[in-house]
Structure 1
């Protein structure tokens, strides 16, 4: 029993307490998951959601959900938004919920480039599910009864609530963008114990979506409607590091396909793999709706975990206004 509890608590500690932020594979289809400067970036109101199902064939199945709504105030050149993140783990019944309120601004810094800073204030709630564990001192060997109390210090706090502060910036023109995000500026305490202090590691990301002008000089209608982008995203949090590198092909701003390689450029151990997964994704845009699907193919030595599936849907309320080209917006599919 003690051995089982030890490994259970160790799993929770590694994956939940000092674990990394949720990283969505479709962060280039739904960039609000990546950078809060996209709040109001289309200069309209929009909403959407992403569902991520991870390791479906293993005992540690994890589901993550992200929901957002934001709008643009043209008179103030600002964007306002709210987002909600939920994550659950089947093995530990660990649950994480966080709501964020986002504020962004836009400044024109040249004839073609814009600068968009943003701030985000969040409130997080972690539940570690210790109420489902049975410890040795809760068992009365003589009577076989189960006591609900325990002297185990870890059970003194099954919930941890905290405030969280983040900030992002974004530079964009009509074709490309590059951004920087830093989360958990206040390093909130997420300790399991009542008087413990485990600060959440700061999460940093540098990301870009740059147009490669390979189809600009083609007169063929089909090729002329095609665009090719180079997409990158370097992330760092504690000892965790990851670099996503790939391409995205867009046809007539209606269809999108892409592929990414997720790598670990800074190796912490000799056993760590350089390429951890190959991520494929596709998107369709129709009358203000955007639909996306992605599948991550594991390339490490892990057992068959069922891969990672993601589904997304979002809606732009003022798509017809933007078709009139009255606004300059951040380009993304």
Structure 2
């Protein structure tokens, strides 16, 4: 009986979570794959570039939440770049799924010989799906025999829309020079209705992100600790969606073929007395080989919210390094050049 009650509670919690305000997935490796942040990064590194990122939260069986992201982009002229991004988010236990595909465009404007301004836009199609027929309602459970009935008197819940389709637009810009970058993006400008209930209207909340990165050369320091071409990277990413907010700050050592870094996830605007300033510590490593870069990160939870098992992320990025026609300037953070 206790098992059945726990099962019902989990189902109900899952149902209400779907009807609550949705939050966009956030990736630890945003500096390795900046296309997750801002359409202004479309074609940022000029030549053909593509990547895949896979994220698993709460890896223990049915509690897992899996998120995958993929992209491809390229500069197609001296100023214009095009690309495509795909996002898929699914919950193992509830079978809830969120899918979105976007076409991206950015335009490079040279402010002067050092600074470049890159506005960008993403336009796409989104789809949410949830099988309401899998819900187990109270009147389907016989508390005396623990038997489960196949039907319920509340047909309204089990006959809700199982799929929602919507149109979405996001926009942003990036300003960069040879040492670093700064950007701002706003997602879900169309505020699409994401409610599964026909009579409800739940607009998807705007997602704001303010982000930056900077690179320091440290291979010239009078020390034998660091090899040639070593850089110190720093980054920050402030995000807000509805009442939720988050600030990631991080640093990394970038060697010629290896990057080792760590991000701190903070809650700068704690909404309650139980809020934690630092909610997780996220170390990551990336290895560069040829035209490929492999990244791995693990999020260590530091809050007291249950027995969370952390989050694994793996990424693989491909970038064609040689480009005889690309008019690129050197950027220390991402190591692109002519």
Does the TM-score normalized on the shorter chain lie above 0.5?
yes
Counterparts of 2:45 and 2:111 in 1: how far apart (Å)?
Answer: 18
Which deviates more, 7-16 or 200-209? 7-16
1:146 and 2:147 matched: no
Counterparts of 2:26 and 2:44 in 1: how far apart (Å)?
Answer: 21
Counterparts of 1:154 and 1:9 in 2: how far apart (Å)?
Answer: 13
Counterparts of 1:241 and 1:172 in 2: how far apart (Å)?
Answer: 25
- Taking a change above 3 Å as real, the CA distance of residues 67 and 14 of structure 1, as seen in their structure-2 partners, is same
Aligned to 1:31: 34
Counterparts of 2:269 and 2:197 in 1: how far apart (Å)?
Answer: 32
- Taking a change above 3 Å as real, the CA distance of residues 91 and 107 of structure 1, as seen in their structure-2 partners, is same
- Taking a change above 3 Å as real, the CA distance of residues 134 and 8 of structure 1, as seen in their structure-2 partners, is closer
1:200 and 2:209 matched: no
Q: What runs of 5+ residues in structure 1 fail to find an aligned partner?
A: none
Q: Deviations over 1:113-165 (max 9, x none)?
A: 10000000121111122121133566899x98634885324642122111111
1:275 and 2:283 matched: no
Residue 19 (structure 1) shift: 2.6
Counterparts of 1:36 and 1:149 in 2: how far apart (Å)?
Answer: 48
Q: Is the 8 Å Cα contact of residues 48 and 315 (structure 1) preserved in structure 2?
A: yes
Runs of 4+ in 1 over 6 A off after TM superposition: 138-141
Aligned to 1:114: 116
Aligned to 1:170: 174
TM-score by length of 2: 0.88
1:246 and 2:250 matched: yes
Residue 217 (structure 1) shift: 5.1
The correspondence for 1:43, drawn from 27, 46, 50, is: 46
Aligned to 2:106: 104
Aligned to 1:10: 13
Q: Deviations over 1:178-218 (max 9, x none)?
A: 11110011111111201210011100000111123555555
Aligned to 1:20: 23
Aligned to 2:126: 124
Alignment of 1:44-59 (within 5 A): 44-57=47-60, 59=62
Any idea what SS the aligned residue of 2:113 has?
coil
